[in-house]
Structure 1
């Protein structure tokens, strides 16, 4: 089995110093793009009555047993079975069926009816009991309804597109949630070797101080301080180990299967302001829902429009006894009907749809402003992180030189043990 490509990130000192939120934001840009390129996504402009996508299996596929998984492979395996994605997919399918219902209103409806019963009738002055047993077929077609059916269909099309954007948003939210835990595992996985290396260096320092103390070159206080530094280094290793175990357990619970060690993630540089060119699914969904609500607002003149129906009926059989003097074989009717509720229902309904449209448009504006503000803040954070990373790289090199010089000065008696320990702790803190 071919192993997935692994990019060199763990070997770089940048990952362990990059804030988790910025690492996640940068990683998701490449991860989400790869998922969108390989995953079937409902077409927001879908208008035809194709079969809906079948619901995914309730459980994720098993993890590969012979290798670890990179983030992209993990998301591709787990994403279709995630509950949040399945909910959004079911809602998209429901919106598609709703659109089909609205489209069917534009066409005719066929009916078959049967009538059976008894009646007392007076015919030519004679009272008789008539047994009715009749069957007929009919076709009814609403030719005009004030444009309401077409408005509902247009609104249904936009609601279907909004449901597709909600599905996109659900996938993005799931990717973000899983990637955040995955990156946390990767971060702790990368930090642990540095903590273990620090523990090894502190043990070597403790042995050195003990030898100097035995030779009378170091005081008992120095030996005690070295032991305290060793305990602190051991506690750091234990803490990182427990945090790593906890993050792995959380990731396994989120994906539903056991996950092996995290593989490095390719972080591509993100130009400042690039995120502002895309339209998030959250914004698109709100705008489409506002357009759907606006489609339902009909002009005032439509309240005066009639409902025009065309109806055909044809007799299939008539066993009525005694037979009537006339027998209707077929009939067609063109009916125009005006309905005016005297209590103002039609006007109130139009006002309601207008207010709902205004509320939906205001909500779309609110969502767009919130997302735009977040994107502007993200640009500033990315710029600051890029500048900080360059400074941290330089600071690491400086501390390496200071630490080497400090060890030589300590052996020569020109630097105290406290100063040497402080240098080690400062360098370790920068690595984290």
Structure 2
């Protein structure tokens, strides 16, 4: 047996130290996602915690209240007036000290307000619908954030499992290189290469552990759990989309998607708010009804009113251009809202088209990546036998192992890209809630 040189001995010691230090890392296997937090429960807990979703619901409630306020202008105002007082009067030339206690019911009704009420009711109704759509969009985006965080945890757990196996394989290979060197069939270069490969596998594994901890931290915070909580989501998948369904969603997203629908509703509300003509230039018609409920006046006056009604027509023309300028402001704001709706539609169209193309490419890559992983697994197994037989170098074997691990990483990332692209396309097309079984948002109330 050939005696190793001091440098080779140092390399051997380094390999053994790294091997022993990595043993504790490889023993910590990722938790299986089969028994993790179910997807419906994850969504329910995440939505209860999401501040954007809660804010959108409150905005929808506020818009509903604004519409009720505007609609109440169509109804009359009823009231009761009670007066009590004393006066010094002159009846038939004689001074009289009179005490009055009187109550009457009143009813005032604005019958016509220059079409301002009609325009306001129509505008607030559209703004209420826009707030509901915004609530839907906020909920879909919250679900997407939860899905992305959960998918990151699942992907990293999957890659970490393969990294742990890879680290075990590199450790066994390093031990084989050491034994071959001790038997006189290895070189110092192989020892250095094995030590370098072990360091590379160890650092990559530790990086994945840190990434998984960060992904779990993000998911825990989204669910309202303590920062140190170990959240493991169960595996989930998005509804599969055929090529025709994906194309249809991408095509209808600029019009049917919640982002454009909300912008279009707000633009229409801004257009309705000014009305066909400035309300200040139109007359106003009011009805006033009064009915006496009680009368206790001593001494009695010569005449008393039991009830009365009146209809008043008011027509005031504002001077100085305020009314016209107010209408011009509303029209310009409506034009700006329409332009914003067009911008949102274009942005959604661009994003939906890009997501559809990326989804198609990722789905086409699924079987290809699986075949690549299977092929590399066969090649690595054969290469191990060839290396032990002296027909393949250590560098070739380690390179093949790195290629297989890189292919497994690409496969996990591609599967995540397919999942998130499906969810994003459904969200842009307005069908995410129905696809995931979430309750419809018929009103501003929370599901």
TM-score range relative to shorter protein: 0.7 to 0.9
The answer on whether the counterparts of 1:92 and 1:160 sit within 8 Å (CA) in structure 2 is: yes
> Which residue number in structure 2 is paired with residue 261 of structure 1?
232
Aligned pairs for 1:1-400 within 5 A = 68-119=36-87, 124=92, 130-257=98-225, 258=229, 260-270=231-241, 271=243, 272-276=246-250, 277-278=252-253, 279-300=256-277, 302-400=279-377
Match of 2:391 among 414, 417, 426: 414
- Relative to structure 1, is the Cα distance of residues 301 and 360 closer, same or farther in structure 2, using a 3 angstrom cutoff? closer
Shift of 1:96: 1.4
Indicate the SS of the match to 1:217.
Answer: coil
The answer on whether the counterparts of 1:85 and 1:171 sit within 8 Å (CA) in structure 2 is: yes
Unaligned 5+ runs, structure 1: 1-65
Indicate the SS of the match to 1:414.
Answer: coil
Shift of 1:404: 3.1
The answer on whether the counterparts of 1:69 and 1:259 sit within 8 Å (CA) in structure 2 is: no
Shift of 1:121: 5.0
Shift of 1:196: 0.8
- Relative to structure 1, is the Cα distance of residues 292 and 267 closer, same or farther in structure 2, using a 3 angstrom cutoff? closer
- Relative to structure 1, is the Cα distance of residues 345 and 122 closer, same or farther in structure 2, using a 3 angstrom cutoff? farther
Indicate the SS of the match to 1:240.
Answer: helix
- Relative to structure 1, is the Cα distance of residues 261 and 80 closer, same or farther in structure 2, using a 3 angstrom cutoff? closer
Superposed CA deviations along residues 172-210 of structure 1, whole A, max 9, x for unmatched, are: 111111111111111111111100110111111111111
Indicate the SS of the match to 1:319.
Answer: strand
Indicate the SS of the match to 2:74.
Answer: coil
The answer on whether the counterparts of 1:286 and 1:364 sit within 8 Å (CA) in structure 2 is: yes
More helix by share: 2
Superposed CA deviations along residues 77-116 of structure 1, whole A, max 9, x for unmatched, are: 3313432222111221121122111111111110111233
The answer on whether the counterparts of 2:42 and 2:233 sit within 8 Å (CA) in structure 1 is: no
Indicate the SS of the match to 2:36.
Answer: coil
Shift of 1:127: 5.8
Superposed CA deviations along residues 224-244 of structure 1, whole A, max 9, x for unmatched, are: 211221122122222212221
Shift of 1:131: 4.3
The answer on whether the counterparts of 1:158 and 1:292 sit within 8 Å (CA) in structure 2 is: yes
Distance 2:290 2:192 in 1: 104
Tell me which moved more, 234-243 or 149-158. Answer: 234-243
> Which residue number in structure 1 is paired with residue 427 of structure 2?
none
Distance 1:306 1:259 in 2: 69
Shift of 1:347: 1.6
- Relative to structure 1, is the Cα distance of residues 80 and 256 closer, same or farther in structure 2, using a 3 angstrom cutoff? closer
The answer on whether the counterparts of 1:206 and 1:227 sit within 8 Å (CA) in structure 2 is: yes
Unaligned 5+ runs, structure 2: 1-33, 410-447
Shift of 1:168: 0.6
Alpha-carbon RMSD across the aligned residues, in angstroms, is 2.2
Indicate the SS of the match to 1:336.
Answer: strand
Q: TM-score, normalised by structure 2?
A: 0.77
Distance 1:229 1:126 in 2: 121
- Relative to structure 1, is the Cα distance of residues 177 and 228 closer, same or farther in structure 2, using a 3 angstrom cutoff? same
Tell me which moved more, 341-350 or 153-162. Answer: 341-350
Q: TM-score, normalised by structure 1?
A: 0.79
Number of aligned pairs?
Answer: 367
